[in-house]
Every structure is written in structure tokens, then in C-alpha cells.
Amino acid sequence: YNVLGQEVATLLNTETMNEGEHEIQFDASGLTSGVYFYKLTTGTFFETKKMLLMK
């Protein structure tokens, strides 16, 4: 999400994944430098964190 709360990308949208560590590549070439927020949701858990993109 950008600082206006607009969704700029969806990296993964799936119902189930196997337990364990997962790594996802993110191509930010279409975004400008700035502050963004990412949201991780799993079952009943969710977390939102700030990310600084510098090009």
C-alpha cells in the first residue's frame, strides 16, 4: 500500500500454504521511491509494517 492507503501490488493470494519459511520475490520497478506498507495475513494473524523503497 502507498501512503494514501491505495493497494499497489498483491504478491501472493492463496488459500493455503505448507507450514514453514517462505520467500517471495517482489519487482518494485513500477514503483517510485518512497514509503510503503505491507500486510501479512495468515489465518487469524495479521501484521502491517512500513517499508522504505529507495532507488
Is the residue at 19 inside a domain?
Answer: no
Average pLDDT value over all residues in the chain: 91
pLDDT in the model for residue 30: 93
What's the pTM?
0.79
What's the CA gap between 19 and 26, in Å, rounded?
Answer: 21
- pLDDT beyond 80 at 4: yes
Is the residue at 15 inside a domain?
Answer: no
- Looking at the 3D structure of the chain, how many domains does it have? 1
Percent of the chain residues topping a pLDDT of 70: 100
Is the residue at 46 inside a domain?
Answer: yes
pLDDT in the model for residue 8: 96
- Write the DSSP string, 1-55: --TTS---------S---SS--------TTS-SEEEEEEEEETTEEEEEEEEE--
pLDDT, one tens digit per residue, over 11-31 is: 888 777 888 888 889 899 999
Query: Which domain, by its residues, includes 4?
Result: 1-9+31-55
Is the four-CA dihedral 53, 6, 12, 17 of positive or negative sign? positive
